[in-house]
Amino acid sequence: MNYQTERAEIVAYGKKLITERLTTGTGGNISRYLPAEQVMLISPSGIPYFETQPEDIVVMDLAGNVVEGTRKPSSEYELHSIFYRERQDVFSVVHTHSEYATTFACLHQAIEPLHYIIGSIGEKVRCCAYKTYGTFELAQEAFDFIQQDHGILLGNHGVLAIGKDVESAFSVAKDIEFLAKLDYRARCIGQPVLLNEEQMQVVIEKFATYGQ
Ligand SMILES: [Zn+2]
């Protein structure tokens, strides 16, 4: 079996989707692209995250063919592969149905800049139009819509996060849920004070050079 380390990573982050309360049941999916081999590893369809074994992870080429594995890939594989085909800066995609963020997605309501951490994702967390799950139309809509942002809401569906590796895409998905929860709670007791464009630009620039 090839890609043992990468398979184990997807299994581990799948469990984190549940323990960090970013999804329930078999909702959501995770993938990682290996540019040298031009394949992506993606979570399988319909297997609970705590039952998923490394051999259940499906290896696919970017045309959608299964290269290695006996399981059916996640039904949203198009939503993942389009980023690896079309962008040179994306190596992982994480998709969730986390509850607070999906609530905003059902309202087609962006999460506004009420906390500086939003600058690690974009000026706000915007929401794209509704398209049927598991279709190329959904993948195309999300791809066209996301532009320079690291994550968006998928209308009437959930969250899409992208990153340079699984850790960063997962972290975006987690931050989006954190922000959605804050926005929801702030609106329960008042009107959140939003950061202005200038304040957000400062934060976005700081995030661009943050870390090691
Ligand atoms: Zn979904």
Query: Is 205 one of the annotated active-site residues of the chain?
Result: no
Sequence-distant (6+) residues with CB within 8 A of 122 are: 148, 149, 150, 151, 204
What is the per-residue pLDDT for 211?
66
The span from the CA of 19 to the CA of 17, in Å, is: 6
What is the 129 CA–ligand 1 centroid distance (Å)? 14
Token pair 């279709």 is found at: 135
What is the 97 CA–ligand 1 centroid distance (Å)? 6
The span from the CA of 112 to the CA of 55, in Å, is: 41
State the pairing for strand pair 151-154/127-128: parallel
Residues with beta carbon < 5 A to ion ligand 1? 158
What is the 133 CA–ligand 1 centroid distance (Å)? 6
Catalytic residue among 6, 76, 141, 177: 76
What is the 142 CA–ligand 1 centroid distance (Å)? 12
DSSP 71: S
Tens digit of each residue's pLDDT, the chain (212 residues): 799 999 999 999 999 999 999 998 888 999 999 999 999 999 999 999 999 999 999 999 999 999 999 999 999 999 999 999 999 999 999 999 999 999 999 999 999 999 999 999 999 999 999 999 999 999 999 999 999 999 999 999 999 999 999 999 999 999 999 999 999 999 999 999 999 999 999 999 999 887 65
What is the 157 CA–ligand 1 centroid distance (Å)? 6
DSSP run (H or E) holding 42: strand 39-42
User: Which of 190, 191, 158 lies closest to 176 in space, CA to CA?
Assistant: 158
DSSP 124: S
Q: What are the residues facing 4 on neighbouring strands?
A: none
